[in-house]
């Protein structure tokens, strides 16, 4: 993934990255089924469905009712839970999507967590190109019709929030429940339901 100017440019490369790992598995990984590689001590419910190509890291838990389909890379010690759907995405180590989530064409950073019902939407209603925008006038084309979100390390998103296509959330940021999230949210912030952004110190407290 190195060498790209912006993190969302890695999204179209996820499939080839997963395939490279399948072609040359790391030590301790084995095939669960065709095109599905899992690490040691990975727990996969018999009532989950995984459609490869996919790579699931060690000690990760895939719970009842999870649906993983095509071009998914999940790191170590992650949780993919009930009625959660993953598609063309990366979950770094310790990331959690535990309840009723959709993660499409997205990247979840290390230790990030999305609450019950959180959706990382990846397609605009008019099917036009996804652009990255913020309140300061940033407007960057991505060249992508399908692109969801990039969540930095340690991001926490409250229940039943929706991240619209092209959302980028900086590391250490918390999003209140029932929030519509769009554009670029700074690192170490608190995003309230009304759209207000409050800075916080890196120790987790408000400034």
**CB atoms < 10 A from the CB of 170, how many?**
18
Give strand ranges (E) for 9-63: 30-33, 36-38, 43-44, 49-51, 54-56, 61-62
Active site residue 113: no
- Among candidate residues 99, 113, 146, 171, the one labeled active-site is 99
Q: Which positions ≥6 away from 81 have C-beta within 8 Å? A: 63, 65, 66, 96, 97, 98, 99, 101
Positions marked catalytic: 99
């Amino acid at each position: 993934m190195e060498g790209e100017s912006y993190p969302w440019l890695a999204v179209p490369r996820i499939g080839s990255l997963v395939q490279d790992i399948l072609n040359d598995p790391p030590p301790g990984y084995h095939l669960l089924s065709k095109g599905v590689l899992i690490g040691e001590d990975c727990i996969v419910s018999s009532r989950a469905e995984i459609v490869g190509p996919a790579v699931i890291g060690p000690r990760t838990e895939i719970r009842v009712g999870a649906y993983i389909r095509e071009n998914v890379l999940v790191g170590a010690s992650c949780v993919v839970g009930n009625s959660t759907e993953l598609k063309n995405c990366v979950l770094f180590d310790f990331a959690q999507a535990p309840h009723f989530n959709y993660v499409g064409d997205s990247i979840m950073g290390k230790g990030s967590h999305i609450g019950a019902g959180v959706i990382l939407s990846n397609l605009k209603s008019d099917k036009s190109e996804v652009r990255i925008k913020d309140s300061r006038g940033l407007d960057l084309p991505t060249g992508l019709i399908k692109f969801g979100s990039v969540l930095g390390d340690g991001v926490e998103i409250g229940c039943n929030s929706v991240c619209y296509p092209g959302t980028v959330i900086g590391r250490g940021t918390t999003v209140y429940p029932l929030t519509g999230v769009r554009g670029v949210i700074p690192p170490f912030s608190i995003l309230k339901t009304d759209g207000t952004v409050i800075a916080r110190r890196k120790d987790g407290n408000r400034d």
